Chain A
Amino acid sequence: MNMGELLIVLALGLPLFAAAVIYAVGRMPDVRETLTLVSCIGLAVVAISIFVRVGQGQPPELMVTQPVPGLSIAFRAEPLGALFAVMASVLWGVNSLFSIGYMRGRREANQTRFYMCFAIAMFGVMGIALAANLFTLFIFYEVLTFATYPLVTHAGTPAARRGGRIYLITLVGASVLLLLPGIIGVQAVAGSTSFVAGGLLAGRVDAVVGSVLLLLLVFGAAKAALMPLHGWLPAAMVAPAPVSALLHAVAVVKAGVFTVLKVSAYTFGPDLITSLPAATWILWVGAATIVIASLVAMTKDDLKARLAWSTVGQLAYITSAAMLPMASGLVAGGLHMVFHAVAKITLFMCAGAIYVATGASRVSEMGGLGRRMPWVFTAFLVASLGIVGLPPMAAMWSKLLLMTAAFAGGHWVFAAALVASSLLGLVYLLPIAFRALFPPLGEPAVREFVRPGGTPGASVIAVCATAAGCIVLFFLADGLANYLAPIRAVTIMEGAP
């Protein structure tokens, strides 16, 4: 086994092994949580090694098995997947740190199951990130769905079970009814489902078949929450805050948009996708999703619901970006996937920290709380700016690139939707932090801490780390964009007048 194969085995094996060990030592919380953190660090190291090797032009590969000819379980790292793996593993670490504070602070039940499911979910994410073909990706996509279901229903209340049912039915339903037929369609047309630079289907399908397949694959990846398949995301808000942070920033939703990006870059390829009418339709749906979700977010008083709707809109950015591959759309999508993840996980962890410390879950209850929790709300402010995309926050770059791509493609309506959404973001996110940090005079009494000692220390460290990440990434954006550039598979069309 060479180094590359070893890295992939480790990337998949570590989280699975961690899950088994967590289960075994479940009765000893300290050991269990130490092990979780150790495996987070280990996985991050592995993911970064893969990332580096891809950058050096030696992408790790691993072929596992071929159940029937033409259908194989195989892994091959490429820039987009490597970036996804690094993002997910690093944020898993931060999120675990936060979880420890949150779960202990709330004295939640079934904590062993909680950490175990997290580890299995990471197994799914690594599989998705490194999959060499759509078939493998699909397998791990489903692993992720089922591993996160017990997390969504963690509370065990009837409301949690209802949310979990919507979650499961929407995701499984879409993947069985749309994604799987789409993948099988690709196999039927091309005889394979491999991810090929420049596009597997290029030159093999006409506009009609291509459009049908594109619609099946994009809407089938319901984790990307493109309207009208977005309903599961607000419904899954019944989950504890660390779960929301992982689901709505890192693992689940990003697995959805990552699938869309991969399909755009490697299944269809830039030349083909821009020639398909369906790509334009999806762009329209994306624009509508962006605007509607932002408008709905404004009406929500529950903080997590507001953040969930904001996520729906932000994900549509990435899905739409994948439909603009000729210009820098794919790179913009890849970057926004990371930048949004870092900002949104911060916001969700802040929401969780506020809830643990004060029991407040509604925006209207948070006036003046910034005085009690200055660090948390400062992080919230930074991350809010990160979502909106103002400098010096990283998301500025991805939005700029996306805007450029939209103009280059002549999609004026979509560009207008981007502008509108950024403005709406200012309206629904910034006032939360401002009202907390700088309450207007005459504000009613500020809520007291319900937990002695306020916010758990581990949680504060976690939110500050990711908030700082928003700013650090601002300066790393150029390097990341160059790293991602190969996925555009520059063609002869590029640069033509």
Chain B
Amino acid sequence: VIVLETLYVATPVLTAQAPILAIVIPLLGACAAAMAPSARTAWMISVAASLFGAWMALAVAGEAMREGVLVYVLGGFDPPMGIALRIDAMGALMGLLIGGVGTLAAVFSGHSLVAEVHAEKHTLFQAGFLLVQAGLVGLVFTGDAFNAFVFLEVSSIGTYALVAVGEKRDRRALPAAFNYLIMGTVGATFYVIGVGFLYAATGTLNMVDMAARLATLDQSMAVQAGFAFVIAGLGVKAAMFPLHGWLPGAYAGGPSLISVLLAATATKAAIYLMVRFMFEVFPQGTAFGEAFLTWVLAPLAAAGAIVCSVQAVFARELRRMIAFSSVAQVGFIFLGVSLANADGISASLFYMVAHGLMKATMFMALGALALSIGARRLDDFAGVAREAPWTAVAFAVGAASLVGTPLTMGFLAKWGLIEAAIASGQVWIAAVIAAGSVLTVIYVGRMIEAMFFRAPSPGAPRAKEAPIGVLAPLLVLAGLSIWFGLDASLPEQLSQAGAARLFEVRP
């Protein structure tokens, strides 16, 4: 069993400031990277800032586990007037995921940008990459509803630009980025409208305050409309079926680096915020909330899990397959959320981490292959396991975790989700997850069959094993999926503690 406190070494001064440093250092790094004289310097800044951010996230996680909840008041202005960062186990878990995957992705970017992005854009690209990280970490750390909007926009605007940069390799990145820009902006607008309604009703933007006041208010139309706007707006960001239209294009078109970061963290951060609103900000057990969970969230999640799995089965391009799979997996996560109890949320949080790691592994492996073959269609990947065995094995580990193979984290994640569904008496949810898993086996089977068992088509470009700078982060990611499959105490503790906090009796 890992004890979190032993994992990091930070001086007391740093620990006290860790929540804000985790956000500000990547933000400052972004400015520095933009002004960097060369692509190489920008890359080094990016790695250093991401690593520092991850270290701070670790410090925050340790503190959050010890203290239960960590409140950091910005600028000395006390809430409700000032803005406070407020991190519990759930936020700490998300912060760790973002910091960890961000660091590995930053290391990976050294080689992959050269192949996929025009040279003159490298410094700006690294700046955008750090902005996205800063925004995502801010989103999961903040305790202020409007501040969350700001961070949401910081990360989103960075993302739109970074997806568009993928046009060097695939011209379709441009319409995909535009599509994402429009839908993302609509989503963010919905969110801010919802927050506006809530502000009008409660007179506060601080989430804790808001929750306390909403608990005493009657369920007015304004509050309900606010809830609906917030959920719909975040639903776009979280790629909740059927608001996921932007995702396959953005994941498939953007540079590999962005697919890695987005797939692992972006939708997860939005889901995290939704969970926060659904169970912490809004009072639990209202008729409106229950109706939403039973009649909107659960059916949509189930439909997404099945429909998008089928789309993944029939997709022809590999990255698009994985992207559809991501939407389907978001459906699984929401199914766990719709159980509306600590077991379900805990299982969903765990699933988010598992899914983040496995998808990051798969996209990074494809990025490693993209260094030597610019392939898109599944058929083009035939037989790459012979030329690039390490990359292919890492991909297979991610895929195995996706399927839910025992001894990977994905298995424990599915197990937890199904167990929570059965324990809550929602057997149909367990059945949907099982059915979705079978579809997953089919499309993952197609990928593995092509990579490992088919002979390369004659005349196709030959894949090469990626350089060590790419292999190292890739193998670390794949290793994490296995490590947490054998000893899941770290994510398990955090997700359980986080879920339990949502449901403890409040004064």
Please report A residues at the B interface, Cβ cutoff 8 Å: 65, 67-69, 71, 138-139, 142, 168, 172-173, 176-177, 180-181, 184-185, 187-188
B416 touches A176 (CB 8 A): no
Interface positions of B from 387 to 443, Cβ below 8 Å from A = 404-407, 412, 414-416, 418-419, 422-423, 430-431, 434-435, 437-438, 441
Judge if B78 is at the interface, Cβ distance under 8 Å.
Answer: no
B430 surroundings in chain A (CB, below 8 A)? 181, 184
The chain A residue with its CB closest to the CB of B406 is A139
**CB-based nearest A residue for B425:** A188
State in angstroms the CA–CA spacing of A138 and B416 once bound together.
16
Report if B470 contacts A (CB, 8 A).
no
Interface size on B, residues (CB 8 A): 27
Q: Determine if A188 and B422 form an interchain contact, defined as CB atoms under 8 angstroms apart.
A: yes
For B489, the chain A residues whose CB sits under 8 A away are: 68
Q: In the complex, what residues of B have CB within 8 A of residue A181's CB?
A: 418, 422, 430-431, 434
Q: A67 and B434 in contact (CB under 8 A), knowing A172-B441, A188-B419?
A: no
* CB-CB under 8 A for A177 and B435, given A67-B485, A172-B441: yes
- If over half of A's interface residues share one DSSP class (helix, strand or loop), that class is named, otherwise mixed; here it is helix
Whether the Cβ atoms of A177 and B415 lie closer than 8 Å is no
B486 and A67 contacting across the interface, CB-CB below 8 Å: yes
B419 engages A187 (CB within 8 Å): yes
Chain A residues contacting B485 (CB-CB under 8 Å) are 67
Nearest A-chain residue to B492, judged by Cβ? A68
- Which chain B residues have a beta carbon within 8 Å of chain A's beta carbons? 404-407, 412, 414-416, 418-419, 422-423, 430-431, 434-435, 437-438, 441, 445, 484-489, 492
* 17 A-B pairs (CB sep. < 8 Å): A65-B486, A67-B412, A67-B484, A67-B486, A68-B412, A68-B492, A138-B406, A142-B405, A168-B445, A172-B441, A177-B437, A180-B414, A180-B415, A185-B422, A187-B419, A188-B419, A188-B423
**How many A-B Cβ pairs are below 8 Å?**
55
Inter-chain CA distance A185–B438, complex, in Å, is 18
Distance of A81 Cα from B437 Cα, bound (Å) = 30
CA gap between A390 and B415 in the complex, in Å? 47
Q: Considering the complex of A and B, which 3 residue pairs feature the smallest CB-CB distances, nearest first?
A: A139-B406, A188-B422, A188-B423
Asked if B437 contacts A139 (CB within 8 A), the reply is no
Whether the pair A142, B412 counts as a contact (CB closer than 8 A) is: no
Contact B486–A180 (Cβ < 8 Å): no
CA–CA, A187 and B485, complex, Å? 18
- Chain A nearest Cβ from B389, distance in angstroms: 14
Closest A residue to B407 by CB, please name it. A139
Task: State whether B434 touches A176 (Cβ < 8 A).
Answer: yes
Cβ-defined contact, B412 with A71, below 8 A: yes
SS of B interface (majority): helix
Q: Report the separation of the CA atoms of residues A138 and B404 in the bound assembly, to the nearest whole angstrom.
A: 12
Given A138-B406, A181-B434, are A68 and B416 also a contact pair (CB < 8 Å)?
yes
Q: Which of A65, A138, A172, A180 contacts B418 (CB 8 A)?
A: A180
CB distance from B439 to the nearest CB of A (A): 10
Shortest Cβ distance from residue B415 to the other chain A in the assembled complex, whole angstroms? 6
The one of A65, A172, A184 that contacts B487, using a Cβ cutoff of 8 Å: A65
Instruction: Please give the distance in Å from A407's CB to the nearest CB on chain B.
Output: 37
Name which residue of chain A comes closest to B404, CB basis.
Answer: A176
Q: Using Cβ atoms and an 8 Å threshold, which residues of chain A touch B492? A: 68-69
- The CB with the most chain B CB atoms within 10 A, among A71, A180, A187, is that of A180
Contact of A177 among B434, B486, B487 (CB under 8 A): B434
- Chain A residues whose C-beta falls within 8 Å of the C-beta of B437 in the assembled complex: 176-177
Q: In the bound complex, what is the Cα–Cα distance between A138 and B486 (angstroms)?
A: 15
Residue of A nearest to B485 (CB): A67
Knowing A176-B441, A177-B435 are in contact, say whether A67-B488 is a contact too (CB < 8 A).
Answer: yes
* Min C-beta distance of A111 to chain B, whole Å: 18
| A177-B412 contact in complex given A67-B487, A67-B488, C-beta closer than 8 Å | no
- Residues of chain B contacted by A67 (CB below 8 angstroms): 412, 484-488
Which B residues touch A173, using CB under 8 A?
438, 441
Which B residue's beta carbon lies closest to that of A64?
B486
Closest A residue to B409 using CB positions: A67
- Alpha-carbon distance between A177 and B434 when the two chains are bound, in angstroms: 5
Collect the chain B residues with CB atoms within 8 Å of residue A168's CB: 445
Q: Nearest Cβ distance between residue B449 and chain A, in whole angstroms?
A: 10
B312 to chain A, nearest CB (A): 16
- Complex: A181 Cα to B417 Cα, angstroms: 11
List 6 additional A-B contacts (Cβ < 8 Å) besides A67-B486, A139-B407, A181-B434: A65-B487, A67-B488, A68-B488, A176-B441, A180-B414, A187-B415
A200 to chain B, nearest CB (A): 15
Q: With A and B bound together, what is the CA distance between A142 and B408 in angstroms?
A: 13
Contacts of A180 in B (CB 8 A): 414-415, 418, 434
Complex Cα distance, B492 from A142, in Å, reads 24
The complex places the Cα of A176 from the Cα of B437 at a distance, in Å, of: 7
With the chains together, A142 CA to B437 CA distance in Å?
Answer: 15
> Taking the nearest CB of chain B, how far is it from the CB of A318, in angstroms?
25
A195 to chain B, nearest CB (A): 17
Shortest beta-carbon distance, A178 to chain B, in Å?
A: 8
A176 neighbours in B (Cβ, 8 Å):
404, 434, 437-438, 441
Tell whether A184 pairs with B419 under 8 Å between CB atoms, given A65-B487, A68-B492, A142-B405: yes
Expressed in whole angstroms, the Cα–Cα distance for A205 and B151 within the complex equals 50
Within the assembled complex, what's the spacing in Å between the Cα atoms of A176 and B414?
11
A-side contacts of B445, CB under 8 Å = 168
The distance from the CB of A83 to the nearest CB of chain B, in whole angstroms, is 25
Residues of B contacting A139 in the complex (Cβ-Cβ under 8 angstroms): 406-407
